Chain A
Amino acid sequence: MSRPAQTEKFQNPVVQWIDERLPIFTMLIKEYGVFPMPKNANYLWSFGGISLTMLIIMTVTGVVLAMSYVPHTEMAFDSVERIMRDVNYGWLLRYVHMNGASFFFIAVYIHIMRGLYFGSYKKPRELLWIVGVVIFLLMMATAFMGYALPWSQMSGWGVTVITSLFAKFPLVGDGIVTWLWGGFSVDNPTLNRFFALHFLMPFVILGVVFIHVWALHVTGSNNPAGVEPKSEKDTLPFHPYFTSKDGFALVAFLTVFLATVFFAPLALTEYDHFKAYDSMVTPPHIVPEWYFLPFYAILKSFVYDFTVTLSLLAMAGLLAAFPAAYVYFKKDVQKRNLAFKGVGALLGLLVLVTLLALVTANLEEPSLAAYLKVVIVPAALQGVLAMFGSILLLMVLPWLDTSPVKSARYRPVYKKCLLLLLISFIVLGYAGAQLPEGWPVIAGQVATIYYFAHFLVIVPYLSRKEKTLPVPNSIHEDPRCASKGK
């Protein structure tokens, strides 16, 4: 036989009959029974399974909620209130779904942070990591559309603010926003399509999660030591060692989740979520859900327009870079030419966008002063690009961090920088919830600068210069591995 033969023999004749025709039981045993897990994997490795459980909880409650929900501007808010008051266990389903989104994000944020700390994005897991970032993006889109469905003040105005971001793109912006809305304001067509897409997205996510898990089962799990398992001494079978460990972690996580559902179901919600949407009255302070706040803060951190004046200054700086590169790369002609090309391309781009802005500027009284004030890239567009960029940056992380040492345990400086990144992320979350004035803006700007500097400057620099600690030879020789020898 050319195909991989079925390896297991099952006692149960029915199971055996099925397995000979569709080796699903063989697959389950291979991937979830005897599958070798690094034996030092700690509880942080449970958050992948916890995330998957949350996805399933969200999908199941969501499908049942959809049976009582009406996606129409006139009835949506009332239908949600009917779910809360009249539908059997509707209050439970809705609170599980509502808080479930928050806990799904908690699990995924821990899962991502685990990956950053132990270098799980590095070779050979780059693609596994990238697929993970795609899942994160899909989750954000799904959560955003779900937030619109109760058609509350926060729903309608949140959607207005976030979809309006696309209007900041030059030329095509307004067309994109009208297309997203299906009209000229956030209205019934918008609600309808958001409901359709919110229903569809979990199944798309489930598909991408399947690819994520597939890729994981090709490379195997990373572990706290960051060295690949070398022999059987380094691993334990998934069942019963990690089914029980993950099971315990899951029960602990669900206990906290359900305690929130039953005792503080509104702790993570804004009160404006309980007023029906009114397109003529804006709530005084529009904020997204907590899990979007850091990215919202990055968006709000950009407050200076890029004008013709600034562009001319930047051009002067780039012109000065030519002689500087000439002197700096005096010995290496190849590098010098590369530097010249890079600076030249930037300069060309700058000249192009500046000319474009000047030509399209519609000035009432053209004068030199008026031309110097023409805005090339408005602050809001910078914010939009930075917000999307902050997530897309994660996709190229495997190539920004080229250090051969995976685990931050053996990277003393990287470990501290990662802590700073976590702190900036929390500061951004705080700044995102505040009115954009006074010191929270400054704090947000500092944290934004650190966020980008961490990935674009610090991580590439440390990859080359950091003095790492000695890495254990293998997992079972790691003094920190609890069950030595075996």
Chain B
Amino acid sequence: MDSTKKHQADGETRRDFLYLTAGAMGAVAAGTAVWPLVDSMNPAADTLALASTEVNVGSVEAGQTITVVWRGKPVFVHRRSAAEISEVRAEAWQELRDPQSDQSRVKSGHDEWLVLLGVCTHLGCIPMGSKVTDVKGDYNGWFCPCHGSHYDKSGRIRKGPAPTNLAVPPYEFISDTLIRIG
């Protein structure tokens, strides 16, 4: 009796405690019930199963670019000549908008291979420059026709509105001529 009176004096009762615990349990239950609905909108198993792509690059000549589709997006695989590599590596990358060295954008030992996500970092357009006849922009790499972003032979942003370099997707060399993207 004493303790009940004391709690009532504070304005707190056993009922308040029950309300709180019941409310908390209700919130947990609601969250548990909603989660399957929310998660059903995430990528399904069959979509996830397509998350990696293997590319045979044996037939790609130096100076040539192939475009492969990975997760519904284009990936540029470009084989660079020694001259192209030394050209992009001679530049002072520290001063660029998104400072990255060319070395950090390729796999060491496979320096001639440049693998890029072909999605402009500005608003998601697909840059030109992979085909022989394409406009390649002021830095002889890729050029986005939407809003005029110029990328160099390392896929780094040099001019135009794009904020960052073309992304490098996760990939690995299974053998010297076989790349797995994703």
Of B8-16, B64-72, B108-116, which binds chain A? B64-72
What residue of chain A has the Cβ atom nearest to residue B40's Cβ? A182
**Contact assessment for B42 and A178 in the assembled complex, using a CB-CB cutoff below 8 Å:** yes
Taking the complex as formed, is A316 at the interface, i.e. its CB lies under 8 A from any CB of chain B?
A: no
Interface of A is mostly: loop
Taking the complex as formed, is B147 at the interface, i.e. its CB lies under 8 A from any CB of chain A?
A: yes
Q: List CB contacts (< 8 Å) of B81-130 with chain A.
A: 94, 99-101, 104, 123-126
**B101 contact set on A, CB distance < 8 A:** 364
**Contact assessment for A373 and B99 in the assembled complex, using a CB-CB cutoff below 8 Å:** yes
**Contact assessment for A164 and B124 in the assembled complex, using a CB-CB cutoff below 8 Å:** yes
B123: which of A164, A183, A280, A378 is its contact (CB, 8 Å)?
Answer: A164
Taking the complex as formed, is B41 at the interface, i.e. its CB lies under 8 A from any CB of chain A?
A: yes
**B94 contact set on A, CB distance < 8 A:** 365, 367, 369-370
Min Cβ gap B2→A in Å is: 44
Taking the complex as formed, is A284 at the interface, i.e. its CB lies under 8 A from any CB of chain B?
A: yes
Taking the complex as formed, is B22 at the interface, i.e. its CB lies under 8 A from any CB of chain A?
A: no
Min Cβ gap A432→B in Å is: 13
Q: List CB contacts (< 8 Å) of A232-284 with chain B.
A: 279-282, 284
Q: List CB contacts (< 8 Å) of A284-307 with chain B.
A: 284-286, 303, 305
State in angstroms the CA–CA spacing of A369 and B93 once bound together.
13
The number of chain A residues with a CB under 8 A from chain B is 38
Task: Fill in one digit per residue for A181-219: 1 if any B CB lies within 8 Å of its CB, else 0.
Answer: 111111101000100000000000000000000000000
**Contact assessment for A183 and B67 in the assembled complex, using a CB-CB cutoff below 8 Å:** no
What residue of chain A has the Cβ atom nearest to residue B103's Cβ? A364
**Contact assessment for B126 and A280 in the assembled complex, using a CB-CB cutoff below 8 Å:** yes
Taking the complex as formed, is B175 at the interface, i.e. its CB lies under 8 A from any CB of chain A?
A: no
**Contact assessment for A183 and B71 in the assembled complex, using a CB-CB cutoff below 8 Å:** yes
B44: which of A157, A189, A370 is its contact (CB, 8 Å)?
Answer: A189
What residue of chain B has the Cβ atom nearest to residue A381's Cβ? B163
**Contact assessment for A189 and B163 in the assembled complex, using a CB-CB cutoff below 8 Å:** no
**A284 contact set on B, CB distance < 8 A:** 145-146
**Contact assessment for A282 and B145 in the assembled complex, using a CB-CB cutoff below 8 Å:** yes
**Contact assessment for A279 and B72 in the assembled complex, using a CB-CB cutoff below 8 Å:** yes
Taking the complex as formed, is B62 at the interface, i.e. its CB lies under 8 A from any CB of chain A?
A: no
State in angstroms the CA–CA spacing of A227 and B59 once bound together.
80
Interface of B is mostly: loop
What residue of chain A has the Cβ atom nearest to residue B67's Cβ? A280
The number of chain B residues with a CB under 8 A from chain A is 28
**A364 contact set on B, CB distance < 8 A:** 99-101, 104
Task: Fill in one digit per residue for A68-108: 1 if any B CB lies within 8 Å of its CB, else 0.
Answer: 00000000000000000000000000000000000000000
What residue of chain A has the Cβ atom nearest to residue B121's Cβ? A380
**B124 contact set on A, CB distance < 8 A:** 157, 160-161, 164
State in angstroms the CA–CA spacing of A407 and B125 once bound together.
47
**A369 contact set on B, CB distance < 8 A:** 94
**Contact assessment for B43 and A279 in the assembled complex, using a CB-CB cutoff below 8 Å:** no
Taking the complex as formed, is A332 at the interface, i.e. its CB lies under 8 A from any CB of chain B?
A: no
**Contact assessment for A282 and B146 in the assembled complex, using a CB-CB cutoff below 8 Å:** yes
Min Cβ gap A373→B in Å is: 7
Q: List CB contacts (< 8 Å) of B123-182 with chain A.
A: 123-126, 145-148, 161, 163
A161: which of B47, B67, B123 is its contact (CB, 8 Å)?
Answer: B123
State in angstroms the CA–CA spacing of A178 and B47 once bound together.
11
Taking the complex as formed, is A179 at the interface, i.e. its CB lies under 8 A from any CB of chain B?
A: yes
Q: List CB contacts (< 8 Å) of B15-45 with chain A.
A: 38, 41-44
**A161 contact set on B, CB distance < 8 A:** 123-124
**Contact assessment for A185 and B126 in the assembled complex, using a CB-CB cutoff below 8 Å:** no
The 3 closest A-B pairs by CB, nearest first: A185-B72, A184-B71, A282-B125
State the B residues within 8 Å of A (CB): 38, 41-44, 47, 51, 67, 69, 71-74, 94, 99-101, 104, 123-126, 145-148, 161, 163
State the A residues within 8 Å of B (CB): 157, 160-161, 164, 178-187, 189, 193, 279-282, 284-286, 303, 305, 364-365, 367, 369-370, 373, 375, 378-380, 435-437
10 extra interface residue pairs, beta carbon distance < 8 Å, beyond A187-B72, A193-B41: A179-B42, A181-B43, A183-B71, A184-B51, A184-B73, A185-B73, A284-B145, A284-B146, A286-B123, A286-B146
